[in-house]
Chains A and B, each alone.
Chain A
Amino acid sequence: MKQFYLLGRNTIATISGIGRAVILLLSALAHVPNPKKGFPLLLNQLYAVGVLSLVIIIVSGTFIGMVLALQGYTILVGYGAEASLGPMVALSLIRELGPVIAALLFAGRAGSALTAEIGLMKATEQLSSLEMMAVDPLRRVIAPRFWAGMISLPLLTAMFSAVGILGAHLVGVDWLGVDGGTFWSVMQSQVDFEKDILNGIIKSIVFAFVITWIAVFKGYDCDPTSEGISKATTATVVQSSLWVLSLDFILTALMFTK
């Protein structure tokens, strides 16, 4: 009996949570930042969400590219195929590792910060006082953060893949001695814009949407206590990571299988 009660209660809680999240999303989407007052807010958030994530994205991207080149080289050289190092690295980064790892790092760096910030604004009644000042917190607080996330992650992903390829060049060409001309030219001929680059961009946009949505919702919906905020922050990182990984599988299946 107790189990049924708990099952029912949790189901209702989950469904009503999804409902609240959808309402929040629709309200935030309805408020595309208006040029005069919204634009400075958006810029601020682009800085907080995007620019401040640059360091971790660039450093990780470089190392991932370097490791890929090192691993790829030791495998490929056995078949005398080290000329394919360029496309191997580029395709792994652009199709998979770029969007996925950048998204996971973004969830940890920017998503958690968004949740904690919004949660703390709620706990200190800043959101309530906005409401009482007839300023809609969805427009003023949620919308700019949401759009900043949507814009930042695809750009960060592009940077991640780009520095990854440079890192691979550093290891493959400058260190292990693969021919530089071959590295670039084979990569150019093998990477297809629509099939590879466009699909990678689509992935990163989907991930940006999911992570930012989860992050702002968890902050806005948290218990306004220190415990509630810490739970919400953890939930943001865990849930968005799981969503990213599972959506990546689905998207890959849709995009790259014939």
Chain B
Amino acid sequence: MSEILVDIRNMTFKRDERVIYDDISLSIPKGKVTAIMGPSGIGKTTLLRLIGGQLKPESGNIFFDGKDIPRLSRNALFETRKRMSMLFQSGALFSDMSVYDNIAFPIREHTNLPENLIEKMVLMKLEAVGLRGARDLRPSELSGGMARRAALARSIALDPELILYDEPFAGQDPISMGVIVRLIRSLNDALGLTSVVVSHDVPEVMGIADYIYIIAEQKIIGQGTPEQIAEQTSPLVRQFVNGESDGPVPFHFKAAPYREELIRKTAFTNRKGG
């Protein structure tokens, strides 16, 4: 296997008492598109934040190019973050700036390039996501899908080594979906970036990813190339890939049995009424 850029070793992470990740290990190869799939609320966004150093694991290591992210000093962490970027699930555009300034922001912050060069770079990125005409709009004037594409343009503005995409396809029509899929793929191949794509969209992920991890119940339940995933017989993986609500992966957030709760509620109301 090729070189590893991000290596997660025996990592455990908890939110208060709830275990989100229980001793998982996964590695993200350099120069490849790695997809992370899994049911909603399982902790995919959390995983990206752990890689970015915004959350600290209970135990275990998260290596980025050999550096253990949770143990870096604040300054070293900020230095390391210059080499990665993240597309937030919500877009997280700066609401007090135009689309243009949003995309120019990381370039202005981290380089001393002259403004005319910055303009060329920004227009290039805007053209790539089909928003050159929206350069002067405010983020509040964009639709959800447009905002996400603008955020995508911002996250690739500096061509970082590692890009973490949190649901890049959500809210896109089939045309822009295709554009984004090709964009992620071509950025990855042309510039030799490493991409991590978090998504539920099984066909898109199967088409774009070099390697796929499927997460459920605090664990990695399946991994492999798209071909291997498609052929896996594990019922957990089959259920997720085929999108069945009934199966070993629970669709529901952890709760008391439904029947019990309904009965309890009824009894309670009866008592109150009578």
Residues on the A chain within 8 Å of B86, using CB: 129, 132
Q: Is the CB of A125 within 8 A of B92?
A: yes
- Chain B residue, CB-CB nearest to A117: B96
The contact of A124 among B81, B84, B92, B106, by CB within 8 Å, is: B92
- The A/B interface has a contact count, at CB < 8 Å, of 44
Residues on the A chain within 8 Å of B49, using CB: 128
The contact of A132 among B54, B93, B94, by CB within 8 Å, is: B54
Task: Tell me the B86-103 residues at the A interface (CB within 8 Å).
Answer: 86, 88, 90, 92-95
Q: Is the CB of B81 within 8 A of A133?
A: yes
Residues on the B chain within 8 Å of A16, using CB: none
Q: Is the CB of B92 within 8 A of A134?
A: no
A135 at the interface (CB under 8 A from B): yes
Q: Is the CB of B78 within 8 A of A136?
A: yes
Residues on the B chain within 8 Å of A192, using CB: none
Residues on the A chain within 8 Å of B94, using CB: 126
- Chain A residue, CB-CB nearest to B84: A132
A131 at the interface (CB under 8 A from B): yes
Residues on the B chain within 8 Å of A136, using CB: 78
Q: Is the CB of A134 within 8 A of B79?
A: yes
Interface SS of chain A: helix
Residues on the A chain within 8 Å of B84, using CB: 132
Q: Is the CB of B85 within 8 A of A132?
A: yes
* Interface residue tally for chain B (C-beta within 8 Å): 20
Q: Is the CB of B88 within 8 A of A129?
A: yes
Residues on the B chain within 8 Å of A126, using CB: 92-95
B82 at the interface (CB under 8 A from A): yes
Q: Is the CB of B54 within 8 A of A131?
A: yes
Residues on the A chain within 8 Å of B52, using CB: 131-132
Task: Tell me the A128-176 residues at the B interface (CB within 8 Å).
Answer: 128-129, 131-136
Residues on the A chain within 8 Å of B79, using CB: 134
- Chain B residue, CB-CB nearest to A120: B95
Q: Is the CB of A133 within 8 A of B92?
A: no
B17 at the interface (CB under 8 A from A): no
Q: CA of A61 to CA of B182 in the docked complex: distance in angstroms?
A: 62
B15 at the interface (CB under 8 A from A): no
The contact of A133 among B90, B93, B105, by CB within 8 Å, is: B105
Task: Tell me the B20-62 residues at the A interface (CB within 8 Å).
Answer: 49, 52, 54
Q: CA of A134 to CA of B109 in the docked complex: distance in angstroms?
A: 9
B252 at the interface (CB under 8 A from A): no
B110 at the interface (CB under 8 A from A): yes
Q: Is the CB of A133 within 8 A of B95?
A: no
Q: CA of A129 to CA of B54 in the docked complex: distance in angstroms?
A: 10
Q: CA of A133 to CA of B88 in the docked complex: distance in angstroms?
A: 11
Q: CA of A126 to CA of B97 in the docked complex: distance in angstroms?
A: 12
Q: CA of A128 to CA of B110 in the docked complex: distance in angstroms?
A: 17
A235 to chain B, nearest CB (A): 23
Nearest 4 pairs of A and B residues by beta carbon: A125-B92, A129-B92, A134-B81, A134-B82
Interface residues, chain B, with chain A CB atoms under 8 Å away? 49, 52, 54, 78-79, 81-82, 84-86, 88, 90, 92-95, 105-106, 109-110
Q: Assuming A128-B88, A132-B54, what are 8 further A-B pairs, CB within 8 angstroms?
A: A126-B93, A126-B95, A129-B92, A132-B81, A132-B85, A134-B82, A134-B109, A134-B110
18 chain-A/chain-B pairs, Cβ below 8 angstroms: A120-B95, A121-B95, A124-B92, A124-B95, A126-B92, A126-B94, A126-B95, A128-B92, A131-B52, A132-B81, A132-B84, A132-B88, A133-B81, A133-B85, A133-B105, A134-B78, A134-B81, A135-B109
